[in-house]
């Protein structure tokens, strides 16, 4: 396949809908062979069929560390090693006032939004460092810098992911491994469908970004010359 990412492999987490699916489309469109990871196997199979180019569907609950290890082993077998690009995008957003938030909701948010990106990064970094090439992209959020009511768990997870990205940036500088944080404001995706409007009211669709806008930012970051690291991109509606 031709394109800026021809010959490259990519893992996109949370690619069964929304931003992750748009990112998977953008990377595949640029020639990458993409593995899509999320829980809903039917949606992943449909995504892989649409993407073509040897795309792989790997169903996995990213909150389950042994399942993440199995998914990565499957991926290594198929790709012959760690992917060249990892986009940690899977996320959950279940806003509630902290006084009313269940412990499970708090732990689940941290597990998917913060611990899973750590598990993915830790698993692929040894190969990337040995190759002196690779790119870890984290999908952050406006909430990784700004506090919003109801975002006690979500904001903590996203601020933590931002800090983990910044530490990784320092730890990998000069190694050939690149790291990018892409932090959008509200994006029109299914994530808003389950949000309790009495806690957070979704902005009008016209005041939200499209998933494709975020995907273009990811594509920009991963198609720069190998000597350039795009540290952070913050997107909001114009
Ligand atoms: N939409 C916004 O306004 C907005 C703004 C800023 C940042 N973000 C961030 O963008 C990312 C993508 O969100 P989105 O808006 O595209 O929402 P979305 O359409 O709901 O997508 C979320 C994705 O995460 C996956 N996921 C959730 N829990 C998972 C788990 N336990 N294991 C594996 N995959 C899991 C979902 O797949 P399954 O359900 O199939 O598992 C889905 O593919 C998130 O990190 C979110 O925080 C979104």
Q: Which residues of the chain have pLDDT under 70?
A: 1
Mutate to test the pocket of ligand 1, among 42, 91, 92, 215 (most ligand atoms within 8 A of CB): 91
Report the separation in Å between the CA atom of 131 and the middle of ligand 1, taken as the mean of its atom positions: 30
How far from 28 is each of 3, 25, 123, 158, 208, CA to CA, in Å? 9, 5, 23, 27, 25
Which residues are designated catalytic?
A: 154
pLDDT in tens, 111-134: 999 999 999 999 999 999 999 999
Please tell me the residue having the least CA distance from ligand 1 atom 36.
Answer: 14
Atom of ligand 1 nearest to the CA of 113: 45
Whether ligand 1 lies within 6 angstroms of the CB of 186 is answered as: yes
Q: CA-to-CA distance for 129 and 179, rounded, in angstroms? A: 12
99 CB-contact burial (10 Å; exposed 0-12 / middle 13-18 / buried 19+): exposed
Question: Which domains, and CATH codes, for the chain?
Answer: 9-235 (3.40.50.720)
State the Rg of the chain over Cα.
17
Give pLDDT tens digits for 66-88: 999 999 999 999 999 999 999 99
- Rounded CA-CA distance 112/157 in Å is 9
- For the entire predicted model, the pTM comes to 0.98
From residue 176, alpha-carbon distances to 132, 168, 237 in Å are 5, 12, 33
Determine the atom of ligand 1 nearest the C-alpha atom of 62. Answer: 32
- Predicted local distance difference test score (pLDDT) of residue 1: 59
Q: Check pocket membership of 18 for ligand 1, CB cut-off 6 A.
A: yes
Predicted confidence at residue 125, as pLDDT, reads: 98
Write down the pLDDT at residue 2.
79
> Is residue 139 lining ligand 1, measured as CB closer than 6 Å?
yes
| Calpha distance 1→199 (Å, rounded) | 46
Say what the pLDDT of residue 209 is. 98
CA distance 79 to 7: 11
User: How many other C-beta atoms lie within 10 A of the C-beta of residue 137?
Assistant: 26
């Amino acid at each position: 396949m031709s394109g800026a990412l021809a010959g490259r492999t990519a893992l996109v987490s949370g690619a069964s809908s929304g931003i992750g699916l748009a990112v998977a489309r953008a990377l595949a469109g640029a020639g990458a062979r993409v593995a899509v990871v999320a829980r809903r196997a039917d949606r992943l199979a449909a995504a892989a069929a649409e993407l073509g180019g040897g795309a792989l569907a790997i169903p996995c609950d990213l909150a389950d560390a042994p399942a993440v290890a199995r998914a990565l082993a499957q991926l290594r077998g198929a790709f012959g090693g760690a992917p060249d690009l990892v986009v940690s995008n899977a996320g959950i957003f279940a806003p509630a006032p902290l006084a009313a938030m269940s412990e499970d909701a708090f732990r689940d948010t941290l597990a998917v939004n913060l611990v899973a990106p750590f598990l993915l990064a830790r698993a692929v970094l040894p190969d990337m460092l040995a190759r002196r090439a690779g790119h870890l992209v984290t999908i952050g959020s406006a909430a990784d810098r700004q506090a919003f009511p109801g975002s006690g768990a979500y904001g903590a997870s996203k601020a933590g992911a931002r800090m983990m990205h910044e530490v990784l940036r320092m730890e990998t500088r000069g190694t050939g491994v690149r790291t990018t944080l892409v932090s959008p404001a509200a994006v029109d995706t299914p994530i808003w469908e389950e949000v309790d409007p009495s806690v957070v009211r979704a902005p009008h669709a016209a005041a939200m970004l499209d998933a494709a806008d975020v995907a273009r930012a990811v594509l920009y970051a991963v198609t720069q010359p190998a000597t350039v690291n795009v540290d952070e991109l913050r997107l909001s509606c114009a």
